Structure formats: structure tokens, C-alpha cells
Amino acid sequence: MAVYKHNYQAYSGPLTSSALRFLILSRYAYQRIFGSRIFLALFLICFAPPLGGAVFIYLQHNAKALQILQIPIDELIPIDAAFFQTLLYIQCSLGFLLATLVGPGLISPDLTNNALPLYLSRPLTRRDYVLGKISALLILLSAITWIPLSLLFFFQAKMAGWAWLWDHFRLEAAVFMGSWLWMLVISLLALALSAWVRWKPIAGALIFGVFIVGGGFGALVNAILFTNWGSLVNIGEMMDIAWRYLFRGQGPTGSLPVWGAFMGLLGFCGFCLLLLSKKLKAYEVVRS
Amino acid sequence: MQSTIELDNLTIRFGRQTVLKGLKGGFAGRAIGLLGPNGAGKTTLLHTLLGFYEPAAGSARVFGFDIQRDIKQIRHLIGYMPENDSFISDMTGIRFVRLMAELSGLPPSLALERAHETLFYVGLGEARYRKLGTYSLGMKQMAKLAQAIVHGPKLLFLDEPTNGLDPPARQRMISLIKDIRSTGETALILSSHLLRDVEECCEEVMILKEGEIVVYCNLEEERKANRKFLELEIIGDSHPFVEMAERLGCECAVHGLSRIKMVLPEQVSIRDLYCLAAKRDIQIRRLNYKRDSLQDIFLKAMEGNRGSLQA
């Protein structure tokens, strides 16, 4: 029967598993995100550094190629913690730009158009909603951070021999944990600001603002009070301390203790979750 | 018969204000109209049943599922059409309705099929590839209805579905609601300020006032109960006719020379009245059943005459 001749009928067909239903939100978010050419260009640029890294690793292990290109082997930088940490810095910086571009558009349109009651009247909890939205960012950021860097790590292990893999396995763990820490912080920040500031450009600008103003304010507190604890509001510095610890086993001197940086980052994530839980309700209740 | 909704001392508080005050009762109707003045708690009741608000006391069950414990199961069974504008403006109609169907658990391909069918059903077939932001108010209302029914719910919550609609659009909405009701597969609760909408679409009506249920009645039974209340217009001398009718046990009130209001006892039928009139050579020119309209019921409830709960 033609579709326009159908009458109303109840549905009694199969249902999808409710455990992974939150991923529907991520899928629909991607359909919108990948429609943007600016995003697509930036996303492709994000793969250039790992690709460069792969070429570099290949050259390191190919004397003939180095000879043809007339590059002295002792002038090449070693493939070590600094190499992977630098690549992680680059990827996370690009990830920051991606999150700034994508994050504000994830929740704010739903709040602006009062769509939350529609989502939350379905078999979807507020937790599922946040999971669905944050998964969109986490999957994207994973695709440009720990996944390509892990592939590089295993590529290097294959070229250098499996003994190298066991000797440097800490690097892979550092890449994985460092990436996830960064992804969680930046994704939660983007979502929280998207929920609180309903205007997308302002939310995007505020993500930058949190880093710049937080950094400046932290430095000011440190300078005035002769302390290092002002850095607790400097997300960039806390991430730097965490990464240094993960890659090299120790944090920088004259700064926050490593545990302080980790606690600060976890506290920040908790604060973002609190902001989200305050804002993501089907209806605002005015209490008298 | 299992109740669609059971309320057990359901109380909702926002801060110090008690919005729903210990609502009780089992409601099994297939189409329940929710009436009440602004702030009576109609929308709050719907939102509570959807799990948006946590009860301060008491509980409620929908199809036997507790609203606090089994809210996911309840939401599988419910379709909700909110009162205010609720949509995602940069989505096309078809994508929006498909998303809502998928979130209700339909597999993607079936969700797409149902979304097409539903949009045609509500009259948005030709506009389904347009962005929702470009829809008129009437089209947005229809899109809201489409997302509420796309997954074929067992219970449909309609919050002011005819808000802002012009008469033809209103009539279209009402006929769709009646059509959904007539399938017998979906129960509905319609919250509205418009008595006519409720009267046309619902079999039962619940009237809320200041957070309490003041009337719950079956409209048809209410009408049947008033069936023996007649208005007559006669030609001829009313006096002997009224006397004879009173002897039969009727309660009569005469207005002017020819108009009589009469309440018939159980054993007296209309035929008896015609026999009386024939004996006295009186012509009955008009005879109407006078029934309590929904407006009468509503006004009585608002006057503070708390009705009994007749579930």
C-alpha cells in the first residue's frame, strides 16, 4: 500500500537494545557536523601530523631512503617520550579547535528549541542524553588523538622490533591515558558551556576564555600569594603537569604537585557534570 | 479492567508551593480529558507521569508501572505532545520524526518507514523534507503530534493540541485525535482549556482545581443520568396536562403559557406523555432532553461544589 494511504496503527515490531541507544544521538550529531566544510577541512588537517610522524618513523628505519634524501641519520630526533609527547600536544591542540567548533552546537540547539522534553519523554534518561552528546565528541577526538598515536606506536614497534615495544610500553599507556584525560576535560567543558550559554558563537568563545582567563588568573594568584596553587584554575598547566608525569614519570619542578594537578582536573570534570545536571532538565521549575 | 493510570496520594511540591495535593484514584478510560483553570496542575500531572518531577509524597502507576521505579518502561508506552514549541529547527520534518522513533526503540529502517507514514497521516507528507524552522504554527503542531505517535504508543499525552490553530486546522487535529482513539489501540489523555475539544474527543473528564481532582466523570454516563429531564413546548391549556403529569409522578415547572420543564420518574416514558397530551387534545410541538453540558459540569466544579470521584 502506498505510504500516503496508511492509517494510524500501533507499533508491535522489534525494538533496539536500550543499552546503546544513546549512540543514536551521536550518529545524528555526526550527520550534521560532517555537513560543514570548515569542520571537514579541519578534521582532515588533524591527520597530517600523525601522517608526518609515520613518514618520520619509516625514514628512521630505512637507511636507503635517508641516503637518497641525503639526511644524516644522527641528525634525526629519536623516537622516544618527547616524540610522542610532542605529537600528543599537537593533536590535542587540534582537538581543542575541533571541540570548540563542534561542542557548542551539541546541546544549545536542543535547549534553545525546548527539545529536551521530547528527548526525555522517550526511554532515554538524562545520563543517556549526556552520554550520547559527549560520545559524539569523544569518538571524534579519539580518532585524532590516541588512535593514530597508538597506531604510530605499534608501527614504530614493528619497525624497531618487539623488544622496543616492551621497553617503551609506558609511552602507549601515557598516550592512551593522557588523551582520555584531555578528551574528558575538553568535552565536558564544551558540553557544560553549550548547556549554559545557548548562543553557539558565545559558547565557542567562552571555551577559549576559560583557558586564557583561567591561565591569567592562576598566574596572578601565584604571583600575589607566592604559591603554586593558583594553577588549580589553569587547565592548560594542569594538563601539562599530568602529561609530563605520564610520559616521564615526574612533573615539572616549581609547580603544582602531580596529585594536585590530577585532583584539580577531576574536580573540574565534576564541576562541569554538576553544571550539566543543573541545566539538563525537561522543564525548569520556578520554586517559590 | 486494569487502570491506565492509578494515583495514590500523589503530591508534588515546587519549593513551598504544593502543586498537586494528594491525588487519588484509578482511571481506566480510553480517552480522558484533563480540564482546569490555569495553574490547576494539569500539565504538572502529565509531566509527573512522564517522570519529569519527583513526587514529594505518594506515587502513581501507568499501566501498572511505578513512575519512579519503572520510568523507562512507562516511556516506552507513552507518546507526548508538549504544549509549547518543542523541536529542532535545523532538522527536516522527516529526520526529526525518525530520530524520535529511533529514540523510542525502533530500528533505523523501520523508524524511517514509520516517519514517512506518520507525516503523511498528519498531513505533512509534502512538507516532510522541509526544515522544521520553516513550518507554520499549524504545521508545527502536526509535527509534534507526528513525533508523539510515530512509535505507536499505548498511551498518548496531548497537552493543548489545538493551541493557536485556525478552525480548519483545529478540526483536522480533532479528527486525527478521534481517529487515533477509534483504533482502540491507544488510550489518550488530553489536557485543554477548550471544553469543546474535550467534549468532542474524550469519554471521561477529570477536572482539576488548585491541585485537587474536583470532578471525575464519564461524560456519556453523565448524559444518561440526566436523560429524564425534559423541556416541552405545547399548544393548548397546560394546566390539566401538568396536573395529570404530576399525578404520574413527574416534577413539573411551567414557564409562561406553553413551556414546561419536567423530570420524569423511572417508570414513566415519553410515550406516556404523548398519551396524556392526546387525551387532553394538546399538541406537543417541541420536546428536548436537557442534558448537563461539559460547560455545566465544569462551571459547577469551579463554583466549589466538589463532586464525588466517580471512576
Residue B118's domain is classified under what CATH number? 3.40.50.300
- In chain B, the N- to C-terminal Cα span, in Å, equals 12
Nearest to B31 by CA among B118, B122, B156, B142: B156
Q: How far apart are CA A241 and CA A248, in angstroms?
A: 10
As given in the structure block, the three cell numbers for residue A283 are: 522543564
In this prediction, residue B218 carries a pLDDT of 85
- Parent domain of B266: 227-288
Asked if B209 and B241 sit in the same domain, the reply is: no
Q: How far apart are CA A118 and CA A48, in angstroms?
A: 41
- Domain-located, residue B127: yes
Closest in B107, B120, B186 to A6, CB measured: B120
Please list every residue in chain B whose beta carbon sits closer than 8 Å to the beta carbon of residue A10. 152-154, 183, 185-186
Closest in B17, B105, B106 to A18, CB measured: B105
B242-286 pLDDT per residue, tens: 888 888 888 888 877 788 888 888 788 888 889 988 888 888 888
Asked if B150 and B187 sit in the same domain, the reply is: yes
- Domain-located, residue B306: no
Closest in A21, A120, A283 to B105, CB measured: A21
Closest in A113, A124, A281 to B103, CB measured: A124
Domain with residue B270: its CATH number is 3.30.70
Give me the DSSP letters along B137-173.
Answer: HHHHHHHHHHHHHTT--SEEEEESTTTT--HHHHHHH
Q: How far apart are CA B67 and CA B120, in angstroms?
A: 33
Nearest to A156 by CA among A61, A89, A36, A238: A61
Q: Measured over all CA atoms, what is the biggest interatomic distance in chain B, rounded to whole angstroms?
A: 76
As given in the structure block, the three cell numbers for residue B303 are: 463554583
Q: Is A200 in CB contact (< 8 Å) with chain B?
A: no
Per-residue pLDDT of chain A (288 residues; tens, 9 = 90+): 566 666 788 888 899 998 899 999 999 999 999 999 999 999 999 999 999 999 999 998 888 888 888 888 777 888 989 999 999 999 999 999 999 999 988 998 898 889 999 999 999 999 999 999 999 999 999 999 999 999 999 999 999 988 999 999 999 999 999 999 999 999 999 999 999 887 888 888 898 899 889 889 988 998 898 888 888 999 999 999 999 999 988 878 778 899 999 999 999 999 999 999 998 887 766 555
Residues 3-22 of B with CB under 8 A from A: 14-17
By C-alpha distance, the chain A residue nearest B76 is A123
By C-alpha distance, the chain B residue nearest A3 is B117
As given in the structure block, the three cell numbers for residue B258 are: 406553553
Given B208, B223, B238, the domain boundary residue is B223
Contact B204, B11 (CB under 8 A): no
Q: Check pLDDT > 70 for residue B224.
A: no
Asked if B213 and B235 sit in the same domain, the reply is: no
- Domain-located, residue B163: yes
Given B223, B241, B268, the domain boundary residue is B223
Please list every residue in chain A whose beta carbon sits closer than 8 Å to the beta carbon of residue B76. 15, 123
- Domain-located, residue B97: yes
B130-153 pLDDT per residue, tens: 999 999 999 999 999 999 999 999
- Domain-located, residue B103: yes
Closest in B87, B107, B113 to A115, CB measured: B87
Residue A226 distance to chain B (closest CA, Å): 45
- Domain-located, residue A284: no
- pTM (2 decimals)? 0.84
Q: Check pLDDT > 60 for residue B311.
A: no
- Domain-located, residue B305: no
CA distances (Å), B147 to each of A121, B122, B184, in order? 11, 10, 20
Domain count, chain B: 2
Contact A181, A239 (CB under 8 A): yes
B46-81 pLDDT per residue, tens: 999 999 999 999 999 999 999 999 999 999 999 999
B22-40 pLDDT per residue, tens: 999 888 888 999 998 888 8
Q: How far apart are CA B201 and CA B123, in angstroms?
A: 19
CB contact under 8 A, A13 and B16: no
Asked if B143 and B175 sit in the same domain, the reply is: yes
Residue type, B263: V
Phi, psi (deg, nearest 5) at residue B83: -75, -45
In this prediction, residue A135 carries a pLDDT of 96
Asked if B209 and B282 sit in the same domain, the reply is: no
E strands, A178-259, are none
Interface with A, mutate which of B73, B95, B103, B106 (most A CBs under 10 A): B103
In this prediction, residue B226 carries a pLDDT of 60
Interface with A, mutate which of B88, B118, B134, B173 (most A CBs under 10 A): B88
In this prediction, residue B308 carries a pLDDT of 40
pLDDT > 90: what percent of chain B? 53
Asked if B254 and B169 sit in the same domain, the reply is: no
Residues 89-148 of A with CB under 8 A from B: 109-110, 113-115, 117-125
**CB atoms inside a 10 Å sphere around CB A126:** 15
Asked if B271 and B166 sit in the same domain, the reply is: no
Domain count, chain A: 1
Q: Is B171 in CB contact (< 8 Å) with chain A?
A: no
CB contact under 8 A, B121 and A10: no
Burial class (CB in 10 A: 0-12, 13-18, 19+), B192: buried
Residue type, A126: R
Residue B72 distance to chain A (closest CA, Å): 5
Give Rg (Cα) of chain A: 23
pLDDT band per the 50, 70, 90 thresholds, residue B178: very high
Q: Is A15 in CB contact (< 8 Å) with chain B?
A: yes
CB contact under 8 A, A121 and B78: yes
Q: How far apart are CA A80 and CA B291, in angstroms?
A: 90
Q: How far apart are CA A216 and CA A233, in angstroms?
A: 9
Q: How far apart are CA A162 and CA A93, in angstroms?
A: 31
In this prediction, residue B306 carries a pLDDT of 47
**CA atoms in the 13 A half-sphere facing the CB of B153:** 32
Given B198, B223, B248, the domain boundary residue is B223
Contact B186, A10 (CB under 8 A): yes
- Domain-located, residue B307: no
Q: Is B114 in CB contact (< 8 Å) with chain A?
A: yes
- Parent domain of A171: 22-279
* Average pLDDT score over chain B: 88
Asked if B277 and B244 sit in the same domain, the reply is: yes
Asked if B172 and B120 sit in the same domain, the reply is: yes
- How open is the CA angle A230-A235-A236, to the nearest 5 degrees? 105
Phi, psi (deg, nearest 5) at residue A226: 50, 55
Please list every residue in chain A whose beta carbon sits closer than 8 Å to the beta carbon of residue B185. 9-10
Nearest to B270 by CA among B229, B238, B225, B234: B229
Residue B24 distance to chain A (closest CA, Å): 23
CB contact under 8 A, B47 and A283: yes
Q: How far apart are CA A99 and CA A76, in angstroms?
A: 33
Q: Check pLDDT > 80 for residue B1.
A: no
CB contact under 8 A, A124 and B17: no
Q: How far apart are CA B11 and CA B58, in angstroms?
A: 6
- In the three-class reduction of DSSP (H, G, I as helix; E, B as strand; rest coil), residue B254 is classed as strand
Give Rg (Cα) of chain B: 24
Asked if B124 and B256 sit in the same domain, the reply is: no
Asked if B240 and B185 sit in the same domain, the reply is: no
In this prediction, residue B295 carries a pLDDT of 75
Show Cβ contacts of residue B268 under 8 Å, excluding neighbours closer than 6 positions. Answer: B248, B249, B250
- Domain-located, residue A1: no
Show Cβ contacts of residue B299 under 8 Å, excluding neighbours closer than 6 positions. Answer: none
In this prediction, residue B239 carries a pLDDT of 86
Contact A98, A190 (CB under 8 A): no
Show Cβ contacts of residue A68 under 8 Å, excluding neighbours closer than 6 positions. Answer: none
Nearest to B153 by CA among B259, B96, B78: B78
Residues 195-234 of B with CB under 8 A from A: none
Residue A185 distance to chain B (closest CA, Å): 27
- Domain-located, residue B76: yes
Between residues A138 and B288, which one has the greater pLDDT? A138
Quick one: angle between helices A169-196 and A235-248, nearest 10? 160
Asked if B216 and B267 sit in the same domain, the reply is: no
Contact B207, B301 (CB under 8 A): yes
- Domain-located, residue A2: no
As given in the structure block, the three cell numbers for residue A26 are: 551521536
Q: What is the DSSP letter of B232?
A: E
- Domain-located, residue A192: yes
